[in-house]
Amino acid sequence: TSPAIGIHDLAVATTSRVVDLDDLAARTGVDPAKFHVGLGQDQMSIPGPDEDIVTMGAAAAQRIIERHGVEGIRTLFFATETGIDQSRAAGVHVHELLGLPRTVRVVELKQACYSATAALQSAAGLIARNPDERVLVIASDVARYEVDTAAEPTQGAGAVAFLVTADPALAVLETAAGVHTAEVDDFWRPNDSMTAVVDGKLSISAYLDGIAGAWDDYASRGGAPIAEIDYFCHHQPFTKMAVKAHRALGQHVGVELDPELVLATTGYNRRIGNSYTASLYIALAALLEGDRDLAGARIGMFSYGSGSVSEFFSLVVQDGYRAVTRAAETEALLAGRDRVDIDAYRALHALGSRDSNVDVDIPGESAVPFHFAGISGRARRYTRS
């Protein structure tokens, strides 16, 4: 029989700066309740000039490597939809920054917010073949929309790193998984654009179609009955979306589901904003690092990537999982961000389109350990504090 495979450890990272959505509401003349209640968002992380998907991903992965070392790691999957290069995987920069062995293969996976789930499933496949291998998965994204649009308050930036292993300490990945793919023009980022193109209303309905389709496939493949799923993590482009998803799933299945349960997953994403590929796994971190005792609980996970690919799968939390959770670390990261005003944030937003030679000043003191140092010879350079 094959061993149980799943998530052995998981760490969150984000940027050094944060925008409070009360400030954005005041600047744009919007009722703050629209953001806090209507969208379920309070803040959004904003990258400084020296921060991007590599620096966040490296910061998250560093904490995994510090605890577990590199033994057994043969593969690094880097999931992102805000890639920094059309060819080279962002994970190659992380590999260098962390000094990982030459004997690690590195590849980038893309399908909007979904691809970290593809990484998790692919990792499980590799480990099923060789249970001594461990796979490092990084999901890292910067959500950027045009300023003065309805999507502006749903920006954000964050990363997770997780280690996929046999006999995991945190949560076992169950075998049944349900998938739903449908081409739809709800959200995408053309090659000539630094910001995503989005049809907000269509994106919400495509997401809800995705959860219904993925659930049906999950159920038909021997997934757990809905009454045997204790908690639900749904992808959180804004946290109210998880509540909508939960209601829609209940209606689809024909049972009343309690949206209160979903609120146990939203605490971090309310403060980070959308982190695309990382968002679902940051929701998982919020649940695992919260007050509830989850040992033995089954968590239903819904992953949605616009365009669109959806997947519903389930995890079972392991006894003793609390020994590896990182609540204090995550809280310190969130609390340690500098609050920037709207002028400063919009100046940073305007910087996002640099792609030719530039030097970036590295701050003497910084809340984050890795830095984007600039572009020379059209190649991106990175450094550590």
What are 223's two structure tokens? 């997934």
Does 34 count as an annotated binding residue? Answer: no
Does 268 count as an annotated binding residue? Answer: no
Amino acid (1-letter code) at residue 316: V
Which residue's C-beta sits nearest to ligand CAA?
Answer: 38
235 binds ligand CAA (CB under 6 A): yes
- ω into 308 cis (within 30 of 0): yes
66 binds ligand CAA (CB under 6 A): no
Interface region with ligand CAA, contact rule CB under 6 A, candidates 2-10, 27-35, 172-180, 287-295: 27-35
Q: Which of residues 289-308 bind ligand CAA (CB under 6 A)?
A: 304, 306
φ/ψ of 61, rounded to 5, equals: -70, -35
Q: Provide the minimum distance between the beta carbon of 308 and ligand CAA in the complex, in angstroms, as a whole number.
A: 8
Q: Provide the minimum distance between the beta carbon of 181 and ligand CAA in the complex, in angstroms, as a whole number.
A: 15
Does 218 count as an annotated binding residue? Answer: no
151 binds ligand CAA (CB under 6 A): yes
Count of positions on this chain that bind ligand CAA (CB under 6 A): 24
26 binds ligand CAA (CB under 6 A): no
First to last CA, the chain: 46
Helix 90-97 with 53-68: angle, nearest 10 deg:
50
Q: Provide the minimum distance between the beta carbon of 145 and ligand CAA in the complex, in angstroms, as a whole number.
A: 6
Q: Note whether 114 and 277 are within 8 A (CB).
A: yes
352 binds ligand CAA (CB under 6 A): no
Helix residue ranges, H only, the chain: 21-28, 32-33, 53-68, 90-97, 115-129, 200-220, 239-253, 260-263, 269-272, 279-288, 327-335, 342-351
Q: Note whether 39 and 153 are within 8 A (CB).
A: yes
Q: How many CB atoms lie within 10 A of CB 81?
A: 26
Does 50 count as an annotated binding residue? Answer: no
Q: Provide the minimum distance between the beta carbon of 207 and ligand CAA in the complex, in angstroms, as a whole number.
A: 4
Taking phi over 0 as left and psi of -120 to 50 as alpha, with beta for the rest, 257 belongs to beta
Residue bearing tokens 């959806």: 310
Instruction: Fill in the DSSP letter of residue 318.
Output: P
Residue bearing tokens 């392991």: 318
Q: Provide the minimum distance between the beta carbon of 273 and ligand CAA in the complex, in angstroms, as a whole number.
A: 10
Position among 200, 259, 363, 369 found at the interface with ligand CAA (CB under 6 A)? 200
Helix 200-220 with 239-253: angle, nearest 10 deg:
50
Q: CA gyration radius for the chain?
A: 19
Q: Which residues are catalytic?
A: 81, 113, 235
Q: Which is nearer to ligand CAA, 47 or 237 (CB)?
A: 237
Residues 306-345, one symbol each (x = binds ligand CAA by CB under 6 A, - = not), give x---------------------------------------
31 binds ligand CAA (CB under 6 A): yes
For residues 160 and 141, give the distance between their C-alpha atoms in angstroms, rounded to a whole number.
10
Q: Provide the minimum distance between the beta carbon of 276 and ligand CAA in the complex, in angstroms, as a whole number.
A: 5
Interface region with ligand CAA, contact rule CB under 6 A, candidates 18-26, 36-44, 264-272, 360-368: 36-44
For residues 313 and 114, give the distance between their C-alpha atoms in angstroms, rounded to a whole number.
12
Which residues of the shown chain bind ligand CAA in the complex (CB under 6 A)?
31, 33-34, 37-39, 113, 150-151, 154, 187, 198, 200, 203-204, 207, 235, 237-238, 241, 274, 276, 304, 306
Q: Which residue positions form the known binding site?
A: 31, 145, 244, 274
Q: Which residue positions form the known binding site for (3S)-3-hydroxy-3-methylglutaryl-CoA?
A: 31, 145, 244, 274
